[in-house]
Amino acid sequence: MQDLVIAGAGIAGLTAALSFAQDGASVRIYERSARLDEVGAGLQLSPNVTRILARLDVLDRLIDQAVKPEAVVLRQASTLAEVASVPLGTAAERRWGAPYLVIHRADLQKALVEAALEAPGISLTLDSTVAAADASQGGIRVAIKSKGNSTTDRADLFVAADGVWSNSRAWVRSDASSRFTEKLAWRTTILADSEAGATFAAIGATSAVTAFMHSGFHLIAYPIRAGRAINLAAFTPGKALAKSWNGDADPSLLQTALRGAAPALAEMIDRSGPWQVWPIYTVDASLPWSRRGGIVLIGDAAHASTPFAAQGAAMSIEDAFTLAGAMTEGGLATLPAWESQRRERVRKVVRRGALNQFAWHASGPIALARNLFLKSRSPDALAADLDWLYGWTPPGWDDGRSL
Ligand SMILES: Cc1cc2nc3c(=O)[nH]c(=O)nc-3n(C[C@H](O)[C@H](O)[C@H](O)COP(=O)(O)OP(=O)(O)OC[C@H]3O[C@@H](n4cnc5c(N)ncnc54)[C@H](O)[C@@H]3O)c2cc1C
């Protein structure tokens, strides 16, 4: 694959550009935003994708801003009692062959952009919306709108990495809609050396990813920005809001939803903010991701899922890297096989997210059974349950090729 156009300079689009360019392709990315702002929240980057970021020479660029958490710790939000702990840190590196990191999305995007701008063969044009793509004779014709002007580009392949509210999806499948899950993600960042940060440290979780579980909500907390800040993301039921990362949120809604949290947790939440809210939409992964002729969806555009397995960005990176490998190896003919392999993997991740959601929001006897089950398992056994996810390597990885 020599020549391609990508819609979107998010995690999927930038990783695709780097992966294809590493294989010698010429890549043009068009990004709708005029600036790549600090949008998004903290991300957990598991070993299945940190190994890919290392191969794309991105890991070294972000490592200073990332944190290697020592464990994922599950706690009851009502009592703060620990229910289970999965070892990460050096244990993760030993077990899964690459580090488990936590980072702000903006720091990952910055590292990807820097690598893309230095790579030969990649151009990035901001303030440019991909408005249409048609498979025509001799490739794909892509229409771009930029500052009131319309232009056309041509490529062998069009990669739509335009996120959960993708307009490209309509060029691939008849049902292009995304579905609101009636759940909201509330997000804020607190400084480690602030009052809220001190309250958080008293709960004892500054070096781990902590999930506080409750029947009405769950809250995930972990350090970012080399430990200078703590990312908080709370998940509650809620009504649809503006489709963006930057919806300002009324904290009283969050405080009401978090009734039942232990006093120290409630105090930390009171001291944190401002909170921003993101309505959680999903995209049906079972519908087509690609169209004959060379139009393909990746990342959230193809299969946005709930964030409860913390794998949305990870699946975007896996999609991007394996797509480049498949195209380099066998061209467009490999697209159906690539799509079905990726669909299978994404489905498994979606099932894991649903299981987490069920377990974390359990109440009464189900919560008791969950706690007994988790306490009966050793940390090593809990880690082994994740081997299929974090120990994954792209096809052909050991040969140094992606397929
Ligand atoms: C609260 C929360 C926590 C999360 N935590 C994790 C986690 O811990 N780990 C993890 O792996 N994932 C996590 N995720 C999921 C992750 O953030 C997403 O899956 C990931 O960012 C998707 O990347 P993407 O590149 O597909 O889409 P985006 O990052 O949304 O990028 C799409 C880009 O396309 C651009 N665009 C849109 N339309 C057009 C157009 N027509 N033309 C040109 N450009 C266009 C947009 O401006 C944007 O820059 C979380 C999500 C949420 C909500």
CA atoms within 13 A on the CB side of 95: 23
Predicted confidence (pLDDT) at residue 38 exceeds the cutoff of 90: no
- Cα 366 from Cα 27, distance rounded (Å): 51
Predicted confidence (pLDDT) at residue 136 exceeds the cutoff of 60: yes
Q: Which among 335, 350, 245 has a CA at the least distance from the CA of 298?
A: 335
Tens-digit pLDDT profile for residues 363-374: 999 999 999 999
Residue 181 in contact with ligand 1 by CB distance below 6 A: no
Say how many residues make up the chain: 403
Strands 26-30 and 3-7 turn out to be parallel
Which tokens sit at 177?
């809609």
Check residue 137 and give its pLDDT. Answer: 74
Residue 307 in contact with ligand 1 by CB distance below 6 A: yes
Is residue 319 within 8 Å of residue 301, measured between CB atoms? Answer: no
- What integer is the mean pLDDT of 319-344? 96
- Cα 222 from Cα 400, distance rounded (Å): 33
- Cα 351 from Cα 374, distance rounded (Å): 19
- Cα 364 from Cα 82, distance rounded (Å): 17
Is residue 342 within 8 Å of residue 318, measured between CB atoms? Answer: yes
- Cα 129 from Cα 32, distance rounded (Å): 4
Predicted confidence (pLDDT) at residue 403 exceeds the cutoff of 60: no
* φ, ψ dihedrals at 361, nearest 5°: -100, 10
Q: Give residue 316 CA to ligand 1 midpoint distance, Å.
A: 8
Check residue 398 and give its pLDDT. Answer: 78
Tens-digit pLDDT profile for residues 207-256: 999 999 999 899 999 999 999 999 999 999 888 666 665 556 677 778 88
Q: Give residue 161 CA to ligand 1 midpoint distance, Å.
A: 9
Q: Determine the 3-state secondary structure of 172 from DSSP.
A: coil
**Most ligand 1 atoms within 8 A of CB, residue of 5, 14, 31 to mutate:** 31
Residue 146 in contact with ligand 1 by CB distance below 6 A: no
- Cα 203 from Cα 190, distance rounded (Å): 15
- What integer is the mean pLDDT of 318-334? 95
Check residue 402 and give its pLDDT. Answer: 41
Tens-digit pLDDT profile for residues 41-58: 899 999 999 999 999 999
Strands 179-191 and 276-282 turn out to be antiparallel
- CB contact burial 341-372 (16+ within 10 A = b; e otherwise): ebbebbeebbebbeebbebbbbeeeebeebbe
Predicted confidence (pLDDT) at residue 173 exceeds the cutoff of 60: yes
**Most ligand 1 atoms within 8 A of CB, residue of 5, 6, 11 to mutate:** 11
Check residue 282 and give its pLDDT. Answer: 97
Percent of the chain predicted with pLDDT > 70: 96
Q: Where is pLDDT greater, at 347 or 256?
A: 347
- Cα 401 from Cα 324, distance rounded (Å): 10
Check residue 238 and give its pLDDT. Answer: 86
Check residue 117 and give its pLDDT. Answer: 95
89-96 and 47-55 helices cross at what angle (nearest 10)?
70
The residue whose CA is least distant from atom 14 of ligand 1 is 312
Query: Within its chain, how far is the Cα of 271 from the centroid?
Result: 27
Q: Give residue 357 CA to ligand 1 midpoint distance, Å.
A: 21
Q: Give residue 218 CA to ligand 1 midpoint distance, Å.
A: 21
Residue 145 in contact with ligand 1 by CB distance below 6 A: no
Predicted confidence (pLDDT) at residue 118 exceeds the cutoff of 70: yes
- DSSP of 216-241, one letter per residue? S-EEEEEEEGGGTEEEEEEEEE----
Residue 219 in contact with ligand 1 by CB distance below 6 A: no
Q: Which among 261, 216, 184, 182 has a CA at the least distance from the CA of 362?
A: 216
Domains contained in the chain, CATH given: 3-178+283-390 (3.50.50.60)
**Most ligand 1 atoms within 8 A of CB, residue of 15, 103, 128, 162 to mutate:** 162
Residue 8 in contact with ligand 1 by CB distance below 6 A: yes
Instruction: Give the number of the atom of ligand 1 that is nearest the alpha carbon of residue 109.
Output: 29
Check residue 241 and give its pLDDT. Answer: 67
- What integer is the mean pLDDT of 289-308? 95
Mean pLDDT for the chain? 92
Check residue 246 and give its pLDDT. Answer: 59
Q: Give residue 145 CA to ligand 1 midpoint distance, Å.
A: 21
Check residue 374 and give its pLDDT. Answer: 93
Check residue 401 and give its pLDDT. Answer: 47
Q: Give residue 163 CA to ligand 1 midpoint distance, Å.
A: 5
- Cα 291 from Cα 284, distance rounded (Å): 16
Q: Give residue 366 CA to ligand 1 midpoint distance, Å.
A: 33
Check residue 341 and give its pLDDT. Answer: 97
Question: How many CB atoms within 10 Å of residue 182?
Answer: 11
Looking at 216-334, list the stretches that DSSP marks H as alpha helix, in order from N- to C-terminal side. Answer: 251-257, 263-271, 300-303, 312-330
